[in-house]
Structure 1
């Protein structure tokens, strides 16, 4: 049975394949193999550039041919490596054998024992995987994050002047502005994104236990630590972790996942707020011809995009949580638990980008219901009590809070007129009464 969107077990590769497909070149099995080949080839080239004595006569014009081994790498090549792996039962060793065959084809047999020279499999995995993660974040995650952020920034500007009844503890509270409430999310997202940018994409490279044992015993006069640092940082564009055990300690990767999780949590908060605003009739939703909101209730247009986003972000965060908690923990110099876990790092990113697209779709559907905003403000004149008592405090009026409490905590509806009547009973100047009467739920919105 060939895999397709109908028989895939995971919805990422099934129902949502079209939304997450851009991540496949970074996190699929084929992608992982390709990144491993890339690191192995670049490592061999770096050895030639030292050069090691046995590689001093290597024809550097062949570097382009070597790089083509991974730049033109496709499914056929990945399948060839998987067939080798079926015999070796070792995925990285299969990559080494595949590259050796390519060296034979290129007439470079004399140099093929310097493929994977002095390395352990984790020198390849712990560079290939951080590299794929870094490039996926930069090329797929960041652009989609920016789309959501830019949409929110635009809505914040568009609706900056829209007064809105606030609700604290679900109850009417001092009015605010719709644009400002969206700006809160913009600021939160930007601050977390700044933290994200500060996290290094760290990689381990240093032999079987991180000490360059094999390298040093073979070529004791070469500064292998400096070589490893230059290779990781200058050739691969990653941060070189040193010292390490056999594996990367994943502390920076855990920090990345924790920050991605916090960004997702902010989006969940956003999704729930807009879902609530829709339920309050603050927004109508654009109707697409042919769409069905409910199988039984023809009138319904459900806020399903915000719900889809929230669900996918919850899935993403559950996996991010496990990744950041598990990966930094390894028995002694290494155990194998990180290996299977690392194969899942694309899963939460996939759920995240699916969610971003859903949030964006939901935001694009919103139609401002200005009348409902105004109606809610007009129906809640009690919220100006804070403003009145604050001015009375300024004027030294006795017990203003208690006076307003007595007015507003009754079962009688508070209206513009009842507020005006109350102001008329106050023993204050006409100027102060005029100032107080000018306050309305729509203009008492702060800065």
Structure 2
């Protein structure tokens, strides 16, 4: 397929140099560079190219297997010529298809006629009736969409998402031993390390990618209501289910043996749910990073010449993460609607899926844009270790958990005076700050065994992180 901007600018040459391009939607305007790779797979032009691809390969498949009486395998030059109809699909092809569709008022029929026009030049004019043989429009559409979604997911979205997870994992590894105060319910809690918290995110995102990587992209080619009725009426001796299976699998898809007129789209709903879940985890990450920036745990590296606020020169706003939040929400709104509507159809067929699927690219586009922004945001962050250390040093009360647990262990071991440990630590720490001196004084007066007393006296908020550093290795 030609370079995407040549298709997008068709008929709009005078606007092509505008920055940003004049467009109704931001993905085709302001943010077009970030999502341009999706155009080759999920645009209307890409859908038509994939329709042509499916029709051409079905034509070759029927001939190669001599499914119909009188058919014989095609010559190498003829097959190459047929496939050039796909590889040569360009701006002129888009325009020609539009002209044909203006007459047919039917997009798939326009594709059929488009291919038929090219057969005489290949010495295949007598086989024009073989184009679209036995097919209903959905036979072509479901396969074209499956190819587009598969390629967009595996060639564009997944590589970008993997790169993001690698960025988060890299931050986890570099900050594996950097102690950080935790906050549960927004309140100071048992310390952790920044790296361990980043590892949690990378692990969560990675699990969703593993699910997405296992997606089955289903397809069918079985006629008007999924019964092969026209196939067997015209050629009763052929094994049409095997012809169908072989064709769908040759396209790199998974054959669906049982459908109505439409392929049921359940696989799409499953994929979109997984992508949406990835988006939601990433959204949670964005809000956490935004909050860490706001309390100084991360410092943003200024971009030379960039403006944070039009009136407050000191500001460096976390715009990458805020932009990502909005785009993830927009992506999920569409993915959720697609997942809900695509699994339903009135009886054997209605066209709600046709309109809905034209927004798949928009859903993926907003997610891809968010991924891009998060990566850019992470690249401009520095860990403020001094701020992290100061926060820990101001919250010695978080060691109350450790003290009362040691007291419990001592009581079990038979040490006297270890009664009511929780209540005693609650009285000491609830609603007040406890500094190092006050806590150590309390510990010294407990009557702990020497080993336990030494262990607690050496403990600080910065060292009370358990095995957080080691846990990063599970990435």
Compute the TM-score of the two structures, normalised by the length of structure 2: 0.92
Q: Aligned residue for 2:297? A: 282
Q: Which of residues 405, 411, 432 is equivalent to 2:452?
A: 432
Q: Aligned residue for 2:198? A: 182
Q: Which of residues 395, 399, 423 is equivalent to 1:402?
A: 423
TM-superposed CA distance for 1:112, in Å, is 1.1
Q: Which of residues 117, 120, 128 is equivalent to 2:144?
A: 128
Q: Aligned residue for 1:92? A: 108
CA separation in 2, counterparts of 1:385 and 1:21? 54
Count residues with an aligned counterpart. Answer: 445
Q: Aligned residue for 1:159? A: 175
CA separation in 2, counterparts of 1:433 and 1:256? 55
Q: Is the 8 A contact 2:260 2:348 kept in 1?
A: yes
Q: C-alpha offsets along residues 384-436 of structure 1, whole Å, 9 cap, x if unaligned?
A: 0100110110000211111111110254x311100111112212233332221
TM-superposed CA distance for 1:224, in Å, is 0.3
Q: Aligned residue for 2:271? A: 256
Q: Aligned residue for 2:7? A: none
CA separation in 1, counterparts of 2:189 and 2:347? 56
TM-superposed CA distance for 1:251, in Å, is 0.6
In 2 relative to 1, CA 11–57 (structure 1 residues): closer, same or farther, beyond 3 Å? closer
Q: Aligned residue for 2:386? A: 371
In 2 relative to 1, CA 6–71 (structure 1 residues): closer, same or farther, beyond 3 Å? closer
In 2 relative to 1, CA 78–423 (structure 1 residues): closer, same or farther, beyond 3 Å? same
Q: Aligned residue for 2:233? A: 217
- For 1:102-117, what aligned pairs fall within 5 Å after superposition? 102-117=118-133
TM-superposed CA distance for 1:6, in Å, is 4.0
In 2 relative to 1, CA 46–410 (structure 1 residues): closer, same or farther, beyond 3 Å? closer
Which residues of structure 1 form unaligned runs of 5+?
none
Q: Is the 8 A contact 2:64 2:73 kept in 1?
A: no
2:24 counterpart of 1:9? yes
SS in 1 for 2:26: coil
Compute the TM-score of the two structures, normalised by the length of structure 1: 0.98
TM-superposed CA distance for 1:198, in Å, is 2.4
CA separation in 2, counterparts of 1:432 and 1:107? 92
Q: C-alpha offsets along residues 34-58 of structure 1, whole Å, 9 cap, x if unaligned?
A: 0000000000000011112222264
2:78 counterpart of 1:62? yes
CA separation in 1, counterparts of 2:327 and 2:90? 30
CA separation in 2, counterparts of 1:57 and 1:259? 42
- For 1:231-250, what aligned pairs fall within 5 Å after superposition? 231-233=247-249, 235-250=250-265
CA separation in 1, counterparts of 2:26 and 2:448? 67
Q: Is the 8 A contact 2:320 2:374 kept in 1?
A: yes
Q: Is the 8 A contact 2:286 2:325 kept in 1?
A: yes
Q: Which of residues 130, 139, 153 is equivalent to 2:155?
A: 139
The alignment's C-alpha RMSD in Å is 1.2
Q: C-alpha offsets along residues 71-130 of structure 1, whole Å, 9 cap, x if unaligned?
A: 121111121111000000000000000101110222311111100011011000000001
TM-superposed CA distance for 1:164, in Å, is 0.3
Q: Aligned residue for 2:435? A: 415
- For 1:48-59, what aligned pairs fall within 5 Å after superposition? 48-51=63-66, 52-56=68-72, 58-59=74-75
CA separation in 1, counterparts of 2:226 and 2:425? 71
CA separation in 1, counterparts of 2:358 and 2:116? 25
Q: Is the 8 A contact 1:48 1:55 kept in 2?
A: yes
CA separation in 2, counterparts of 1:56 and 1:144? 45
CA separation in 2, counterparts of 1:58 and 1:45? 7
Q: Is the 8 A contact 1:55 1:111 kept in 2?
A: no
Q: Is the 8 A contact 1:24 1:31 kept in 2?
A: yes
CA separation in 2, counterparts of 1:440 and 1:75? 67
Which residues of structure 2 form unaligned runs of 5+?
1-10, 412-417, 468-475
